[in-house]
Chains A and B, each alone.
Chain A
Amino acid sequence: MTDVTAQSRPAARPGGTRSDLLRQIWISRADYLYVLPAIVVMLVVIAYPIYYTVDLSFYKTPPGLQLKDKSFVWFDNYTTILTSGVFWRVTLNTVIWTIASTLIAFVLGYALALALHREFAGRGIMRAIFIVPWVISAVAASYIWKWIYHSDFGIIGVVMVQLGIVDRPPNFIDSVNTVLPSLIVVNIWREFPFAMIMMMAGLQTVPEQLLRAAQVDGASAWQRFWHVTFPHLRGVSTVTVLLLAVANFNSFIIPWIMTGGGPSNASHIWITHIYELAFGRQRWGVASAYSVLLFIILMTLGYFYVRALSQGERRERGA
Chain B
Amino acid sequence: MTTFILRGAAVRGAAIAVLTASLTATTALAEPPVDLSKWSPDYVRSIAGTEEFDTAAECGKVTPLDYKGRLTFWYQGVFEGDPDLLRQYYKDFFETFRKTYPNIQLEEQALTYNDLLDKFRTALLGNAAPMAVRLQILGGTEFASKGYLEPLKPEDVGWSTEDFWPGAMKAVTWDGVTYGIPTNNETMALIWNADIFKRAGLDPDSPPATWDDVVAYSKQIHDKLGIAGYGLVARKNAGNTPYRFMPQLWGYGGGVFDEADASPNYGEVRLNSEASKRALQASYDMYVRDKSVPTSALTNQQADNQPLFVAGQLGMMISHPSDYNVMLDLQKKATGADKEKAQTVIDNMRYGLIPTGPDGKRAVVFGGSNIHILKPEYVEGGKVDEPAAKAIICFWTSPEWSLKMAYAGSNPGNLNGFKTKWMKERLDNIKFLDVTTSMLPYGIPFPALPQAPEIMNIIVPDMLQNALTGAMTVDQAADDAAEKVKELMGGL
Do the two chains belong together in a single complex? yes
List A residues at the B interface (Cβ < 8 Å): 63-67, 146, 150-153, 168-169, 171, 173-176, 258-266, 276, 279-282, 284
B461-488 residues at the A interface, CB under 8 angstroms:
461-462, 465-466, 468-471, 488
Contact of A153 among B122, B235, B313, B451 (CB under 8 A): B313
Q: How far is the CA of A260 from the CA of B471 in the complex (A)?
A: 17
A261-B236, A282-B121 are known; give 8 further A-B pairs, CB within 8 A: A63-B451, A65-B146, A151-B296, A153-B308, A168-B295, A174-B297, A176-B471, A280-B237
Pick from A64, A174, A280: contact of B295, CB under 8 Å? A174
B457 partner, pick from A63, A174, A259, A280, beta carbons under 8 A: A280
- Among A259, A263, A266, A280, which residue has the most Cβ atoms of chain B within 10 A? A263
Using an 8 Å CB-CB cutoff, how does the interface string of B223-247 with A read, 1 for contact, 0 for none? 0000010000011111000000000
Contacting pair A279 B121 (CB below 8 A): yes
Query: Please, which residues of chain B bring their CB within 8 A of the CB of A63?
Result: 450-451, 454, 488
- Flag if B295 contacts A146 (CB, 8 Å): no
Q: Which residues of A sit under 8 angstroms from B357, Cβ to Cβ? A: none
Contacts of B6 in A (CB 8 A): none
Check B118 for interface membership: any CB of A closer than 8 A.
yes
Distance in Å: Cβ of B142 to nearest Cβ of chain A: 8
* B294: chain A residues within 8 A (beta carbon): 151-152
B282-309 interface mask toward A, CB cutoff 8 Å, 1 = contact, 0 = none? Answer: 0000000001001111110000000010
Asked, given contacts A171-B295, A174-B296, A280-B237, whether A64 binds B450 with beta carbons under 8 Å apart, the answer is yes
Counting CB contacts under 8 A, is B13 at the interface? no
Closest chain-B Cβ to A151's Cβ sits at a distance in Å of 4
- With a cutoff of 8 Å between Cβ atoms, the chain A residues found around residue B308 in the complex are 152-153
User: B145 interface residue, CB < 8 Å from A?
Assistant: yes
* Interchain CB contact under 8 A, A67 and B125: yes
User: What distance in Å separates the Cβ of B118 from its nearest Cβ neighbour in chain A?
Assistant: 4
Question: Is B382 part of the contact surface with A, judged by Cβ < 8 Å?
Answer: no
The smallest C-beta distance from B44 to any residue of chain A, in angstroms, reads: 37
Partner of B118, one of A64, A65, A174, A280: A280
Chain B residues whose CB sits within 8 angstroms of the CB of A151 once the complex forms: 294-296, 299
- In the bound complex, residues from chain B placing their C-beta under 8 Å from that of A65 are 146
Asked if residues A175 and B469 are in contact (CB atoms below 8 Å), the reply is yes
Min distance, Cβ A144 to any Cβ of chain B, angstroms: 15
Query: Are the C-beta atoms of A260 and B121 separated by less than 8 Å?
Result: no
CA distance A168 to B292 in the complex (A): 12
Listed by A's residue number, 8 A-B pairs whose Cβ atoms lie within 8 Å are A63-B488, A152-B313, A153-B308, A260-B235, A262-B298, A262-B461, A263-B469, A280-B457
| Contact between B235 and A262, CB atoms less than 8 A apart | yes
Q: How far apart are A164's CB and chain B's nearest CB, in angstroms? A: 15
State the CA gap A276–B462 with chains docked (Å).
13
Say yes or no: A263-B465 contact (C-beta < 8 A), given A64-B451, A280-B118.
yes
Chain A CB within 8 A of B102 CB = no
Q: Which residues in A have their C-beta under 8 angstroms from that of B125?
A: 67, 284
Contacts of B264 in A (CB 8 A): none
B430 at the interface (CB under 8 A from A): no
Instruction: Name the residue in A146, A175, A259, A264 with the highest tally of chain B Cβ atoms < 10 Å from its Cβ.
Output: A264
Identify the closest chain A residue to B450 (Cβ).
Answer: A64
